[in-house]
């Protein structure tokens, strides 16, 4: 989900500049598409193939960021099944603790948009012959893992950016879910959703008193 935002994360940059005009920011997108939370732990302390270019990218801890926004990896655990939910939550705890042990960063935990169950993975060539019923099951499993991410953040008092619930509230109020989902693949967030995500990150920065005048490096994992 985070890698799809692109290396520049323009909506986040715009939101930060708009709300903190006197604060310089340097943004790093450390997301890698289609990877699990275990690999997120690895990238904190190990160099890895650069998803946005050639060669290897330096590990996250080498950047010494002031703030790391950790996205939940929930969609990439959707095939694990119900019996692996507790394992997934434990991996998130280990990732959270690894950041505290290896970087000076303050941390936010982000749970992303819920799936569109009626169009999940539409228009993705790899899944063009997969029955809608099975794709609905995958969407339900994705939502189960998204909720598990919210639960572990609540249990462990992670500073939470709960885009998942915010979108559900808007959908319940009448906004079509498809507005929040990229229509080219029906799984990643749309540009409209990235604007919402950026605004929610800004709100969390204010709510949790994240930034000081010396902070400038923001990383998304």
- pLDDT, one tens digit per residue, over 149-197 is 999 999 999 999 999 999 999 999 999 999 999 999 999 999 999 999 9
Distances (CA, A) of 102 to 47, 94, 118, 208: 14, 12, 41, 21
Please state the pTM of the whole predicted model.
0.94
Q: What is the pLDDT of residues 90-145, one digit of tens each?
A: 999 999 999 999 999 999 999 999 999 999 999 999 998 999 999 999 999 999 99
CATH number of the domain residue 122 falls in: 3.40.50.1110
Query: What's the structural domain count of the chain?
Result: 1
Q: Give the tokens for residue 107.
A: 């941390």
Round to whole Å and give the CA distance between 209 and 214.
13
Task: Write out the residue range of the structural domain in which residue 105 sits.
Answer: 3-220
């Amino acid at each position: 989900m985070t890698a799809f935002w692109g290396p520049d994360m323009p909506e986040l940059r715009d939101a930060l500049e708009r709300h903190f005009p006197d604060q310089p920011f340097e943004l790093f997108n450390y997301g890698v598409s289609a990877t699990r939370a275990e690999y997120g732990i690895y990238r904190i302390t190990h160099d890895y193939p650069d998803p946005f270019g050639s060669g290897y990218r330096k590990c996250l801890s080498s950047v010494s960021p002031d703030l790391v926004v950790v996205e939940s990896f929930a969609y990439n655990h959707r095939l694990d099944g119900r019996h692996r939910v507790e394992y997934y939550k434990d991996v998130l705890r280990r990732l959270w603790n690894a950041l505290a042990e290896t970087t000076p960063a303050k941390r936010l935990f982000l749970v992303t948009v819920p799936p569109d169950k009626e169009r999940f993975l539409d228009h993705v060539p790899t899944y063009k012959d997969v029955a809608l019923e099975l794709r609905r099951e995958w969407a339900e499993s994705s939502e189960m893992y998204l909720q598990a991410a919210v639960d572990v953040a609540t249990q462990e008092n992670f500073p939470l950016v709960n885009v998942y619930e915010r979108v559900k509230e808007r959908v319940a109020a009448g906004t079509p879910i498809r507005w929040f989902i990229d229509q080219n693949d029906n799984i990643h967030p749309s540009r409209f959703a990235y604007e919402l995500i950026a605004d929610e990150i800004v709100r969390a920065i204010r709510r949790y008193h994240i930034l000081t005048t010396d902070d400038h490096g923001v990383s998304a994992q």
